[in-house]
Chains A and B, each alone.
Chain A
Amino acid sequence: MRYGLYPGCSYNGTAKEFGESINFVCNKLGIELQELDDWICCGASSAHNTSHLLATSLPLHTLISARKAGFEKLLVPCIACSWRLKTAIKEMRENEELKVRAEEVVGEKYDDGIEVFNIVEFFIKEIGLKKIEEVTNKFLKRLKVVCYYGCMLTRPPGVANFDVVEDPQSMDNIMESLGAKSLDWPYKTECCGVSFALSRTDVVVKLCHDLLEEIKKLEADMVVVACPLCQTNLDMRQKEIEKKYNAKYGVPIVYFSQLMGLALGGSSKDVGLQRLTVSPFPALRKRGIL
């Protein structure tokens, strides 16, 4: 099956290893991903608190160009992007006036023919756990992981329409089907502070400290995430948090797609493990995976 890909601005930047590992996994599973030609930003963290019309029109431009390229299904790996695209779809369905105005801005009509998937949803619904289990042969056995979903994977409930809102299991299930042991914990859907990293960094440092303290109690090998902002905040700022709170964590924060890639026979370079700030290599070697 052929899918459209809307990579988002971080896919080739701060989340490069996310992009590399998704491309690798899809290639191995025989999924054809085709990047939308000349796509534009969804407005992400800023448009929605500046102008509702702008925050609807930017995603609409993407939805229309995906339709024009002949797609019905669009994979949107960045969680912020998938939130904005799914929100635009829902609000235009419920609010005809908004749809007409946004169409006037973009200059074209939209037929509501695109289904947007976040990346975890994509693997669960379009590939299925059974297939993942078959092709990876429990490769990650003995690895102990904690799945961290963050805010947008399951929220807002009427928009994301995916998994159990406050106790999601999908990423845990993927990890279990790869053979890993996934630990339960109460902070799965707490927020990391998202884009405040670049404005009120103090908020991100405090929220990530709360998360890391909880993670530490679980004694897991690594934390598994599916969002570029969760990953960057917990990984890149970990040293800074350790210094500020006089603590020691050293816990690797990896994308679930990186572990999937390893289980599908990828090398550490194929899935960009060397790009993580806190090195996952010692933990993976300890468990005999690398």
Chain B
Amino acid sequence: MREIAKINKTFAEQIKEECGEDVYLCYQCKKCSLGCPTAYAMRYKPHQLIRTIQLGQKDLVLKDQSIWFCLSCQTCMTRCPQNLDFVKVADAARTIGGREKYKNPIPEIAAFNESFLFLVEKFGRIYEIGLVMLIKLKTKQIMKDVVTGLPLFFKGKFGLLPHKVKNVNEVQRIFAKVKELESK
């Protein structure tokens, strides 16, 4: 029997598999980009990112900063006449990028996500001052926000010590199990 040539999945198919959203629904009305609060900072606006995914330009999406500027504020998906959820598409693209070892092009956001999940896995909860310190170390911006953050400290809003949940082993088991299931 002849073997059928194995065709690589397109980026759009990968996105659909990851989050269920069909990017081919988009007909480029640009409503998403017009309402997007961070479109000003994106080289490719949301509707252009969708078009880029339709055309299979994976590197263009995953090596650029644009997709990382999505705040998940949900304005785009609320207004989309085709009910295409751009936030889910952005999350799926960012997840695929991370899994396939694309480097996050915005170092501060990479530092935030790494520090955030590290703390959740370590303590079971977010420990705010720890989060700030970790991000400072990772981005080498030690003095950033010291003046802005100081009042919070004096107003008793920053606990100095982390709160570790009792069943932290349970949290670590969740993280490990997710990794195990996802590697299958």
Closest to B74 in A: A155
Near A by CB (< 8 A), chain B positions 97-152 give 98, 106, 108-109, 111-113, 116-117, 120, 124-128, 131-132, 135, 144-145, 148-149, 151-152
* Nearest-Cβ distance from residue A223 to partner chain B, whole angstroms: 18
Contact residue among B69, B111, B128, B182 (Cβ-Cβ distance under 8 Å from A203): B69
Interface centre among B18, B72, B90 (most CB of A within 10 A): B72
Contact A104 B131 (CB under 8 A): no
- How many inter-chain contacts with C-beta < 8 Å in the A-B complex? 168
* Nearest-Cβ distance from residue B141 to partner chain A, whole angstroms: 10
Contact residue among A16, A155, A196 (Cβ-Cβ distance under 8 Å from B78): A155
A101-B126 Cα distance, complex, nearest whole Å: 25
Q: Does B25 sit at the interface, judged by CB under 8 A?
A: no
Q: Which residues of B contact A1 (CB under 8 A)?
A: none
Q: Which residues of B contact A166 (CB under 8 A)?
A: 78
Q: Does B155 sit at the interface, judged by CB under 8 A?
A: yes
* Nearest-Cβ distance from residue A38 to partner chain B, whole angstroms: 5
Q: Does B41 sit at the interface, judged by CB under 8 A?
A: yes
Complex interface bits, B20-45 against A, C-beta within 8 A gives 1, otherwise 0: 10000000000000000110110000
Contact B128 A13 (CB under 8 A): yes
Q: Which residues of B contact A12 (CB under 8 A)?
A: 159, 163
Contact A156 B77 (CB under 8 A): yes
* Nearest-Cβ distance from residue A266 to partner chain B, whole angstroms: 18
Contact residue among A46, A49, A200, A240 (Cβ-Cβ distance under 8 Å from B108): A200
Contact A190 B37 (CB under 8 A): yes
* Nearest-Cβ distance from residue B40 to partner chain A, whole angstroms: 8
Stretch at the interface among A50-58, A169-177, A213-221: A50-58
Q: Which residues of B contact A85 (CB under 8 A)?
A: none
Contact B109 A199 (CB under 8 A): yes
Q: Which residues of B contact A201 (CB under 8 A)?
A: 144-145
Q: Does B60 sit at the interface, judged by CB under 8 A?
A: no
Contact A199 B126 (CB under 8 A): no
Q: Which residues of A contact B73 (CB under 8 A)?
A: 151-152, 155, 191, 194
Q: Does A69 sit at the interface, judged by CB under 8 A?
A: no
Contact B174 A61 (CB under 8 A): yes
Complex interface bits, B77-106 against A, C-beta within 8 A gives 1, otherwise 0: 110000001010011101100100000001
Contact B71 A39 (CB under 8 A): no
Closest to A200 in B: B108
* Nearest-Cβ distance from residue A47 to partner chain B, whole angstroms: 7
A77-B145 Cα distance, complex, nearest whole Å: 26
Given contacts A105-B181, A193-B71, A199-B111, contact A46 B116 (CB under 8 A): yes
Interface centre among B116, B124, B156 (most CB of A within 10 A): B116
A276-B155 Cα distance, complex, nearest whole Å: 8
Contact B157 A105 (CB under 8 A): no
A143-B72 Cα distance, complex, nearest whole Å: 33
Near B by CB (< 8 A), chain A positions 53-106 give 53-54, 57-58, 61, 95, 101, 104-106
Contact B148 A46 (CB under 8 A): no
Sort A-B residue pairs by CB-CB distance and give the 3 closest, nearest first. A191-B73, A9-B126, A155-B74
B residues with a Cβ closer than 8 A to A are 18-20, 37-38, 40-41, 69, 71-75, 77-78, 85, 87, 90-92, 94-95, 98, 106, 108-109, 111-113, 116-117, 120, 124-128, 131-132, 135, 144-145, 148-149, 151-152, 155-159, 163, 165-167, 170-171, 173-175, 177-178, 181-182
Q: What would 10 A/B residue contacts be, using CB atoms closer than 8 Å?
A: A41-B124, A41-B126, A45-B116, A46-B113, A46-B117, A52-B18, A105-B178, A156-B77, A166-B78, A194-B71
Known: A10-B126, A50-B98. 11 other contacts (CB 8 A): A9-B127, A13-B128, A13-B159, A40-B170, A41-B125, A46-B116, A52-B92, A61-B174, A151-B75, A191-B37, A203-B69
